[in-house]
Protein backbone atom coordinates (compact mmCIF):
# COMPACT_ATOMS: atom_id res chain seq x y z
CA UNK A 1 0.00 0.00 0.00
CA UNK A 2 1.08 3.59 -0.60
CA UNK A 3 0.05 6.91 0.92
CA UNK A 4 -0.07 6.07 4.63
CA UNK A 5 1.69 9.36 5.27
CA UNK A 6 3.72 11.99 3.51
CA UNK A 7 5.73 14.58 5.39
CA UNK A 8 7.59 14.53 8.66
CA UNK A 9 7.47 12.10 11.54
CA UNK A 10 9.36 12.45 14.80
CA UNK A 11 10.96 9.43 16.48
CA UNK A 12 10.09 10.66 19.94
CA UNK A 13 12.16 10.36 23.10
CA UNK A 14 10.55 9.09 26.30
CA UNK A 15 11.20 11.30 29.36
CA UNK A 16 11.85 9.18 32.43
CA UNK A 17 11.58 10.22 36.06
CA UNK A 18 14.73 9.82 38.16
CA UNK A 19 12.81 7.76 40.70
CA UNK A 20 11.32 5.54 37.99
CA UNK A 21 8.31 5.76 35.73
CA UNK A 22 7.42 8.15 32.92
CA UNK A 23 7.32 11.93 33.18
CA UNK A 24 3.95 12.41 31.51
CA UNK A 25 3.83 16.13 32.16
CA UNK A 26 7.02 16.55 30.14
CA UNK A 27 5.89 14.05 27.50
CA UNK A 28 2.64 15.94 27.00
CA UNK A 29 4.55 19.16 26.42
CA UNK A 30 6.75 17.38 23.89
CA UNK A 31 3.72 16.07 22.02
CA UNK A 32 2.26 19.59 21.88
CA UNK A 33 5.63 21.00 20.73
CA UNK A 34 5.71 18.51 17.87
CA UNK A 35 2.18 19.20 16.71
CA UNK A 36 2.61 22.97 16.97
CA UNK A 37 5.79 22.60 14.88
CA UNK A 38 3.87 20.91 12.07
CA UNK A 39 4.94 17.30 12.62
CA UNK A 40 2.59 14.97 10.75
CA UNK A 41 3.27 11.74 12.65
CA UNK A 42 4.35 10.90 16.19
CA UNK A 43 6.48 7.76 16.25
CA UNK A 44 6.41 6.52 19.83
CA UNK A 45 8.27 3.56 21.36
CA UNK A 46 10.71 3.36 18.49
CA UNK A 47 14.44 3.04 19.16
CA UNK A 48 14.66 6.69 20.21
CA UNK A 49 12.00 6.06 22.87
CA UNK A 50 14.10 3.39 24.62
CA UNK A 51 11.38 0.71 24.76
CA UNK A 52 13.98 -1.98 25.43
CA UNK A 53 14.37 -0.56 28.95
CA UNK A 54 10.64 -0.16 29.63
CA UNK A 55 8.17 -2.51 31.28
CA UNK A 56 5.07 -3.65 29.41
CA UNK A 57 2.96 -1.62 31.83
CA UNK A 58 4.98 1.52 31.04
CA UNK A 59 4.56 0.96 27.31
CA UNK A 60 0.80 0.65 27.72
CA UNK A 61 0.72 3.86 29.76
CA UNK A 62 2.70 5.69 27.08
CA UNK A 63 0.42 4.45 24.29
CA UNK A 64 -2.73 5.39 26.15
CA UNK A 65 -1.38 8.83 27.05
CA UNK A 66 -0.21 9.54 23.49
CA UNK A 67 -3.60 8.79 21.98
CA UNK A 68 -5.38 10.92 24.57
CA UNK A 69 -2.98 13.86 24.29
CA UNK A 70 -2.71 13.93 20.50
CA UNK A 71 -6.51 13.83 20.12
CA UNK A 72 -6.35 13.22 16.38
CA UNK A 73 -4.06 16.20 15.72
CA UNK A 74 -1.36 13.94 14.27
CA UNK A 75 -1.10 10.35 13.19
CA UNK A 76 0.33 7.98 15.77
CA UNK A 77 2.71 5.14 15.00
CA UNK A 78 3.80 2.80 17.78
CA UNK A 79 6.92 0.66 17.71
CA UNK A 80 6.07 -3.01 18.14
CA UNK A 81 8.98 -5.03 16.79
CA UNK A 82 10.83 -7.79 18.64
CA UNK A 83 13.39 -10.54 18.15
CA UNK A 84 10.49 -12.93 18.70
CA UNK A 85 7.75 -13.16 16.09
CA UNK A 86 5.19 -14.13 18.72
CA UNK A 87 6.09 -11.13 20.89
CA UNK A 88 5.98 -8.79 17.89
CA UNK A 89 2.51 -10.05 17.01
CA UNK A 90 1.32 -9.62 20.59
CA UNK A 91 2.75 -6.08 20.80
CA UNK A 92 1.30 -5.15 17.41
CA UNK A 93 -2.18 -6.32 18.35
CA UNK A 94 -1.96 -4.39 21.59
CA UNK A 95 -0.83 -1.20 19.81
CA UNK A 96 -3.69 -1.51 17.31
CA UNK A 97 -6.16 -1.95 20.14
CA UNK A 98 -4.71 1.08 21.96
CA UNK A 99 -5.45 3.33 18.97
CA UNK A 100 -2.37 3.31 16.75
CA UNK A 101 -2.82 4.56 13.20
CA UNK A 102 0.14 2.43 12.16
CA UNK A 103 3.06 0.37 13.41
CA UNK A 104 6.83 0.66 13.11
CA UNK A 105 8.23 -2.86 13.26
CA UNK A 106 11.98 -3.28 13.52
CA UNK A 107 13.67 -6.31 12.00
CA UNK A 108 14.23 -9.22 14.40
CA UNK A 109 17.45 -8.35 16.21
CA UNK A 110 20.18 -10.59 17.65
CA UNK A 111 18.73 -13.80 16.19
CA UNK A 112 20.10 -12.83 12.73
CA UNK A 113 17.50 -14.65 10.67
CA UNK A 114 17.69 -15.25 6.92
CA UNK A 115 16.01 -13.08 4.29
CA UNK A 116 13.22 -15.65 4.15
CA UNK A 117 12.95 -15.38 7.93
CA UNK A 118 12.56 -11.60 7.62
CA UNK A 119 9.79 -12.08 5.08
CA UNK A 120 7.94 -14.61 7.25
CA UNK A 121 8.27 -12.35 10.31
CA UNK A 122 6.67 -9.35 8.59
CA UNK A 123 4.07 -11.51 6.86
CA UNK A 124 2.99 -12.85 10.26
CA UNK A 125 2.86 -9.39 11.87
CA UNK A 126 0.95 -7.83 8.97
CA UNK A 127 -1.49 -10.73 8.97
CA UNK A 128 -2.23 -10.23 12.67
CA UNK A 129 -3.40 -6.59 12.35
CA UNK A 130 -5.46 -4.46 10.00
CA UNK A 131 -3.54 -1.18 10.31
CA UNK A 132 -0.54 -0.16 8.16
CA UNK A 133 2.88 -1.57 9.02
CA UNK A 134 6.22 0.11 8.32
CA UNK A 135 9.35 -2.06 8.30
CA UNK A 136 12.34 -0.59 10.11
CA UNK A 137 15.65 -1.49 8.53
CA UNK A 138 18.54 -0.51 10.82
CA UNK A 139 21.29 -3.15 10.43
CA UNK A 140 23.90 -1.26 12.50
CA UNK A 141 21.68 -1.95 15.53
CA UNK A 142 20.05 -5.25 14.65
CA UNK A 143 22.64 -7.17 12.66
CA UNK A 144 19.97 -7.89 10.02
CA UNK A 145 19.57 -6.08 6.70
CA UNK A 146 16.39 -6.10 4.59
CA UNK A 147 17.80 -6.56 1.09
CA UNK A 148 16.00 -4.90 -1.86
CA UNK A 149 14.67 -8.19 -3.23
CA UNK A 150 13.15 -9.02 0.16
CA UNK A 151 11.53 -5.60 0.45
CA UNK A 152 10.09 -6.13 -3.02
CA UNK A 153 8.39 -9.29 -1.76
CA UNK A 154 7.16 -7.52 1.36
CA UNK A 155 5.66 -4.70 -0.72
CA UNK A 156 3.06 -7.15 -2.02
CA UNK A 157 1.53 -7.59 1.45
CA UNK A 158 -1.72 -5.52 1.47
CA UNK A 159 -1.09 -3.53 4.67
CA UNK A 160 2.67 -3.14 4.22
CA UNK A 161 2.92 0.66 4.14
CA UNK A 162 6.64 0.97 3.53
CA UNK A 163 10.11 0.84 4.99
CA UNK A 164 12.02 3.20 7.24
CA UNK A 165 15.51 2.97 5.76
CA UNK A 166 18.44 3.46 8.10
CA UNK A 167 20.93 1.10 6.48
CA UNK A 168 23.12 4.08 5.51
CA UNK A 169 23.83 2.69 2.04
CA UNK A 170 22.38 4.95 -0.65
CA UNK A 171 23.15 2.43 -3.39
CA UNK A 172 21.02 -0.15 -1.61
CA UNK A 173 18.30 2.40 -0.82
CA UNK A 174 18.10 3.42 -4.49
CA UNK A 175 17.69 -0.22 -5.51
CA UNK A 176 15.02 -0.77 -2.86
CA UNK A 177 13.17 2.31 -4.10
CA UNK A 178 13.34 1.04 -7.68
CA UNK A 179 11.83 -2.28 -6.67
CA UNK A 180 9.00 -0.98 -4.46
CA UNK A 181 8.07 2.21 -6.31
CA UNK A 182 4.29 2.46 -6.59
CA UNK A 183 3.77 -0.56 -4.33
CA UNK A 184 4.65 0.82 -0.91
CA UNK A 185 6.55 3.86 0.40
CA UNK A 186 10.10 4.49 1.53
CA UNK A 187 10.95 6.80 4.43
CA UNK A 188 14.27 8.27 5.45
CA UNK A 189 15.46 6.94 8.78
CA UNK A 190 18.80 8.79 8.70
CA UNK A 191 18.53 12.56 9.17
CA UNK A 192 21.70 13.22 7.19
CA UNK A 193 20.21 11.38 4.18
CA UNK A 194 16.82 13.09 4.22
CA UNK A 195 17.45 15.12 1.08
CA UNK A 196 18.81 12.36 -1.19
CA UNK A 197 16.13 9.93 -0.03
CA UNK A 198 13.37 12.42 -0.82
CA UNK A 199 15.06 13.06 -4.18
CA UNK A 200 14.72 9.42 -5.25
CA UNK A 201 11.04 9.36 -4.32
CA UNK A 202 10.93 8.98 -0.56
CA UNK A 203 7.50 9.77 0.85
CA UNK A 204 8.79 11.44 3.99
CA UNK A 205 11.18 11.17 6.88
CA UNK A 206 11.24 9.76 10.38
CA UNK A 207 13.56 12.10 12.23
CA UNK A 208 15.48 12.22 15.49
CA UNK A 209 16.56 15.85 15.05
CA UNK A 210 12.92 16.93 14.81
CA UNK A 211 12.59 16.23 18.53
CA UNK A 212 14.57 19.46 18.88
CA UNK A 213 13.45 21.49 15.86
CA UNK A 214 10.18 20.11 14.47
CA UNK A 215 9.30 23.33 12.68
CA UNK A 216 12.72 23.48 11.01
CA UNK A 217 12.52 19.91 9.77
CA UNK A 218 8.99 20.51 8.45
CA UNK A 219 10.14 23.71 6.75
CA UNK A 220 12.86 21.71 4.98
CA UNK A 221 10.36 19.05 3.87
CA UNK A 222 7.89 21.65 2.62
CA UNK A 223 10.59 23.36 0.54
CA UNK A 224 11.41 20.07 -1.13
CA UNK A 225 7.74 19.15 -1.60
CA UNK A 226 7.01 22.39 -3.47
CA UNK A 227 10.01 21.84 -5.73
CA UNK A 228 12.31 24.52 -4.31
CA UNK A 229 15.47 22.44 -4.32
CA UNK A 230 17.77 25.40 -3.66
CA UNK A 231 15.84 26.28 -0.51
CA UNK A 232 15.67 22.64 0.57
CA UNK A 233 19.46 22.41 0.22
CA UNK A 234 19.92 25.61 2.21
CA UNK A 235 17.67 24.37 5.00
CA UNK A 236 19.28 20.93 5.13
CA UNK A 237 22.72 22.57 5.21
CA UNK A 238 21.56 24.55 8.24
CA UNK A 239 20.27 21.38 9.92
CA UNK A 240 23.36 19.22 9.34
CA UNK A 241 25.48 20.49 12.27
CA UNK A 242 22.54 19.87 14.61
CA UNK A 243 21.99 16.44 13.07
CA UNK A 244 25.66 15.65 13.65
CA UNK A 245 25.29 16.79 17.27
CA UNK A 246 22.41 14.34 17.70
CA UNK A 247 24.75 11.45 16.93
CA UNK A 248 27.96 12.28 18.81
CA UNK A 249 26.92 9.40 21.06
CA UNK A 250 24.36 6.63 20.72
CA UNK A 251 20.84 7.86 20.03
CA UNK A 252 18.91 9.08 22.06
CA UNK A 253 21.62 10.24 24.47
CA UNK A 254 22.35 13.55 22.67
CA UNK A 255 18.72 14.23 21.73
CA UNK A 256 17.64 13.97 25.36
CA UNK A 257 20.39 16.35 26.45
CA UNK A 258 19.39 18.77 23.71
CA UNK A 259 15.77 18.74 24.83
CA UNK A 260 16.89 19.57 28.38
CA UNK A 261 18.86 22.51 26.96
CA UNK A 262 15.66 23.71 25.29
CA UNK A 263 13.84 23.69 28.62
CA UNK A 264 12.06 20.33 28.47
CA UNK A 265 12.27 18.02 31.47
CA UNK A 266 13.56 15.18 29.31
CA UNK A 267 15.59 13.48 32.02
CA UNK A 268 18.45 11.16 31.15
CA UNK A 269 18.52 7.81 29.38
CA UNK A 270 18.05 4.57 31.24
CA UNK A 271 20.97 2.22 31.74
CA UNK A 272 22.93 0.89 30.03
CA UNK A 273 22.82 4.24 28.21
CA UNK A 274 24.50 7.08 30.09
CA UNK A 275 24.22 10.85 30.29
CA UNK A 276 25.81 12.87 27.47
CA UNK A 277 29.50 13.59 28.11
CA UNK A 278 30.51 17.18 28.85
CA UNK A 279 32.46 17.69 25.62
CA UNK A 280 29.45 16.55 23.61
CA UNK A 281 27.10 18.77 25.62
CA UNK A 282 29.09 21.74 24.32
CA UNK A 283 28.74 20.42 20.77
CA UNK A 284 24.97 20.17 21.20
CA UNK A 285 24.62 23.60 22.83
CA UNK A 286 26.73 25.23 20.12
CA UNK A 287 24.72 23.52 17.38
CA UNK A 288 21.41 24.63 18.88
CA UNK A 289 22.62 28.22 19.18
CA UNK A 290 24.01 28.17 15.63
CA UNK A 291 20.63 26.98 14.39
CA UNK A 292 18.99 29.94 16.09
CA UNK A 293 17.51 28.33 19.18
CA UNK A 294 17.89 31.14 21.68
CA UNK A 295 16.71 29.57 24.95
CA UNK A 296 19.58 27.13 25.31
CA UNK A 297 20.57 26.01 28.80
CA UNK A 298 24.16 24.81 28.45
**What is the maximum alpha-carbon separation in the chain?**
50
CA gap 226, 242 in Å, rounded: 24
Residue partners of 217: CB distance under 8 A and separation at least 6:
8, 10, 37, 39, 205, 207, 209, 210, 239
The reported pLDDT for the residue numbered 286 is: 95
Domain locations in the chain? 7-219
- Residue 160: in which H helix or E strand, if any? strand 160-165
3-state DSSP call for residue 10?
strand
The reported pLDDT for the residue numbered 298 is: 63
Q: Which CATH superfamily is domain 7-219 in?
A: Aldolase class I (3.20.20.70)
CA gap 181, 148 in Å, rounded: 12
The reported pLDDT for the residue numbered 294 is: 78
In tens, the pLDDT along 182-211 reads 999 999 999 999 999 999 999 999 999 999
3-state DSSP call for residue 202?
coil
The reported pLDDT for the residue numbered 121 is: 98
Structure letter (DSSP) for residue 222: H
CA gap 159, 154 in Å, rounded: 10
Task: With both helix axes pointing from N to C terminus, report the angle between 56-70 and 24-36 in degrees, rounded to the nearest 10.
Answer: 40
The reported pLDDT for the residue numbered 297 is: 73
- Residue 105: in which H helix or E strand, if any? strand 102-106
CA gap 222, 182 in Å, rounded: 22
Catalytic residues: 136, 164
CA gap 9, 76 in Å, rounded: 9
Task: With both helix axes pointing from N to C terminus, report the angle between 229-245 and 278-291 in degrees, rounded to the nearest 10.
Answer: 160
The stretches in the chain having pLDDT less than 50 are none
> pTM of the full predicted structure?
0.95
The reported pLDDT for the residue numbered 222 is: 98
- For the range 205-208, what are the long-range contacts, defined as Cβ-Cβ under 8 Å and sequence gap of 24 or more? 205/8, 205/9, 206/9, 206/10, 206/11, 206/41, 206/43, 206/46, 206/104, 206/164, 207/8, 207/9, 207/10, 207/11, 208/11, 208/48, 208/246, 208/247, 208/251, 208/252, 208/255
Query: Nearest CA to 209 among 248, 172, 267, 160?
Result: 248
The reported pLDDT for the residue numbered 295 is: 66
The reported pLDDT for the residue numbered 140 is: 93
CA gap 262, 28 in Å, rounded: 15
Amino acid sequence: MTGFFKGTATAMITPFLAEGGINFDAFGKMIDYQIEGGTDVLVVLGTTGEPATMTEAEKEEVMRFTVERAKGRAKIVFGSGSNSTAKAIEASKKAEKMGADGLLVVTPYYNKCTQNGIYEYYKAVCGAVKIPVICYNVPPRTGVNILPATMERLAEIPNMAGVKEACGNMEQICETMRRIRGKCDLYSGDDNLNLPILAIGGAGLISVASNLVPAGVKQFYNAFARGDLAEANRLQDALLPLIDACFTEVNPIPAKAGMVMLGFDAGIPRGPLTELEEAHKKVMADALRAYGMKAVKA
